[in-house]
Amino acid sequence: MYWGDFEERVINLKNNRQVAEVRQFLSNFALIFDENAVEYTMAIYRSGVVIATGSLSGEVLRNIAVDESLQGEGLTAAVISHLLKVASRKGIYHYFVFTKPEKAHLFAALGFREISRAEPYAALLESGLGSIENYCREISNHADLLPPGQRACLVVNCNPFTLGHQAVIAKAAEENQGVVVLVVSEDQSVFPFHIRFRLVKQGLSHYKNIVVIPAGKYIVSAATFPGYFTSGEETILAETRLDAEIFAQYIAPALQITARYVGNEPYCPVTRAYNQAMKDILPQRGINVIEMPRLEINGEIISASKVRQAIRDNDWQTVQKMVPEVTYDYLLSEEGVPIVDKIRQTLARH
């Protein structure tokens, strides 16, 4: 579409030249462009040169940038309007923007409401149907099932559910009157969310003071952990600290959480940085962070990645030592066959 001397174009994500043009433009803003991580990208050109761009991935508006010399020309509004029309055609009516704090006002002027920020790295805004307040009301209804008293929370991915996960959760249940286990809802793992959620729930069903809840959109999600914002160390700082801020500001109060339990992390630098972000931020809001040593068997630390590697190695004796019966039975079942095959074909970290 043309307007004035500007031209809006849909970027063909399989066209190397078009992708390179967007990537080069975004590099001026220290933004990374991964064409495999987005569903849709548009750009505004003038005289054949990219002057603005934005992408869409589910509910998340990503990589939005406008030539600094053209601020005030309505280009940010044009990019947002274009992306929201595309989202609505997909049946999406709730939107997130993850941006730098100094750019948040540009989106606020377009009807987005800031949820939280982690200075100087990132800010998260939302618009459309739904809100973090609605989310907090929903999860608090689940927590009402818990007995009164001190409450702890754990956020787990469980790809798959291991004895290590079970041990940390059991410790929390022993030391608190109630425990909320939030299972990461993003379907970016080898084990689909509905399987991870089911195995965790079944594996903890004998506890009367634990509730298992889908983590939803506001914690370790495509919105709070988008993985595209900047490169290197700043990406990790932006995402981990923003996620921790949102938990402290909204989720913990809604669930009446006074402690967050985590397992220590000897392998993954992102998880290790996330633990540190929680230690830096949560105590300031009256939330203790309790970091538990990883469970060991015969001197070997249990981890989901080791379970997946044992499956690749066809070492079912090791798998059985590292997972609860509910996980082991699933892996040996007919339903688990496609997951086992997928594990053997991928080296995905999570």
Domain ranges of the chain: 2-130, 133-345
26 and 20 Cβ atoms separated by less than 8 Å: no
Compute CA distances 296 → 58, 173, 175, 292, 304, whole Å.
Answer: 39, 20, 21, 12, 13
Residue 259: is its pLDDT beyond 90?
yes
**In a 3-state reduction of DSSP, which class is residue 40?**
strand
2-130 classified as CATH 3.40.630.30: yes
> Cβ(64)–Cβ(76) under 8 Å?
yes
Q: How many CB atoms lie within 10 A of CB 129?
A: 9
pLDDT for 230: 42
| Rounded Cα distance, 206 and 60, in Å | 38
| Sign of the torsion formed by the C-alpha atoms of 125, 127, 131 and 133 | positive
E strand segments, 129-227: 151-156, 178-183, 210-214
How far apart (Å, rounded) are the C-alpha atoms in residues 152 and 172? 7
Give the pTM: 0.91
Residues with Cβ within 8 Å of 92's Cβ and at least 6 positions away in sequence, in order, are 58, 59
* Predicted pLDDT at 1: 59
Question: What angle is formed at CA 33 by the lines to CA 10 and CA 16, rounded to 5 degrees?
Answer: 60
Residue 231, pLDDT score: 46
CA-CA distance, 344 to 297, in Å (whole number)? 24
* Report for 111-120, 196-205, 229-238: range of highest mean pLDDT: 196-205
> What pLDDT shows up at residue 124?
92
| Per-residue CA distances from 276 to 218, 228, 241, 289 (Å) | 19, 21, 9, 10
pLDDT of 98 reads 84
Q: What phi and psi values does residue 25 have, to the nearest 5 degrees?
A: -65, -45
Is the predicted pLDDT of residue 228 greater than 50, yes or no?
Answer: no
Task: Assign 171 a pLDDT band (cuts: 50, 70, 90).
Answer: very high
Instruction: Please report the pLDDT score of residue 2 as a whole number.
Output: 58
- Give the least confident one: 74-83, 161-170, 216-225: 216-225
The answer to whether residue 174 scores a pLDDT higher than 90 is: yes
Find the mean pLDDT for residues 218-245.
75
Least confident of 104-108, 170-174, 267-271: 267-271
CATH superfamily of 133-345: HUPs (3.40.50.620)
Q: What does the block give as tokens for 169?
A: 């959760």
Q: Averaged over 296-307, what is the pLDDT?
A: 88
Whole-number mean pLDDT of the chain?
A: 91
Report whether pLDDT(169) > 70.
yes
The answer to whether the CB of 129 falls within 8 A of the CB of 94 is yes
Q: How far apart are CA 142 and CA 230, in angstroms?
A: 36
Is a pLDDT exceeding 70 seen at residue 21?
A: yes
Give the tokens for residue 261: 């339990």
pLDDT level of residue 233 (50, 70, 90 thresholds): low
Q: Residue 32 has what pLDDT? A: 82
pLDDT by residue (tens digit) across 33-76?
A: 889 889 999 999 999 999 999 999 999 998 999 999 998 889 99
pLDDT tens digits for range 314-333: 999 999 999 999 999 999 99
- More confidently predicted of 5 and 129: 129
**pLDDT surpasses 70 at 227:** no
Least confident of 200-214, 257-271, 283-297: 257-271
pLDDT band at 297 (very low <50, low <70, confident <90, very high): confident
